A and B are shown apart, each in its own frame.
Chain A
Amino acid sequence: MDLLAFRGTDFKIHLPISEDLLNKGADNVVQHPELDRLQLTCLGDNRMEIKFTISPKIVITRTLQVYVHEDLGFPTNPRMHLTIEHGLKVIDRVVIGFIKNRLPEWIQLQSKELFVDLGPVFAMSGMGDYLTRIQTARVEVRSGQLVFDASFKN
């Protein structure tokens, strides 16, 4: 019997995700034939390093430092908001074009703001039906882990 069958269920969720597991998950959901490598490093202070190698025509490796915004926009607009602090220049057209045009549409780049729509991510992890029951959620990047805190009501 699924948890969603129990009306009135009320939970607090504390979910620390290790960097290893985060990278396994990212490998699973962010896939493209020209994305050769993607490595996430949790730095702490809500900052993360994203290292990736793409090969649209030539091989390009970049390391971005991003600030991860705590609020995940639940319940109305569930998405992760990251601000690119270092590593991406406006002249980096190949990289910007790759992120904008080649990655799935649930990853959006607007200037230095990167948005990850959480609906498809939940759906891919088999938890799509639970998404609309999350009332509040926040994320914290600690050294070596990403911590997800949420309240769930059904």
Chain B
Amino acid sequence: MEELIKYLKETQMEGLKGMKIEGEIPVTEKQLNVLLEQFVRPQLEPKPGTEPTSPPAASANPMMELLPYLKFPILDVKIKDGKLILKVRVEV
């Protein structure tokens, strides 16, 4: 799998050119707050002169490494039944 992901990164995702994933993601208030927390909270950095106590955690899903190579236009945002509905498209 790592080899395949490396190949996709090296070729700038050429092998998936034309990919289109489109749809809706309902986000609850709780999830929205978690996402905002992740976005707003400053990264914890080790103090000068100290070493980090543990290595950075590996990504649970190696496919996540491909995220920087994808475009994520948000097509629409609406509120429905107390949830934030994001209409998104994912493209190469």
Contact = CB atoms under 8 A, between A and B. Distances in A.
Contacts of B14: 18, 20
Interface stretch (B48-56, B59-67, B70-78): B59-67
Contact of B4 (A12, A15, A18, A24): A24
A3 interface: yes
Interface string B1-25: 1011001100000111111111111
A9 B24 contact: yes
B17 to A, nearest CB: 7
A130 to B, nearest CB: 10
B15 A21 contact: yes
A137 to B, nearest CB: 13
B23 A16 contact: no
Contacts of B20: 13-14
A33 interface: no
A12 B23 contact: yes
Closest 9 CB pairs of A and B: A21-B15, A11-B23, A8-B26, A18-B15, A16-B18, A14-B20, A10-B23, A13-B21, A6-B25
Interface of B: 1, 3-4, 7-8, 14-27, 31, 34-35, 38, 60-63, 83
Interface of A: 1-3, 5-18, 20-22, 24-25, 28, 124-127, 152
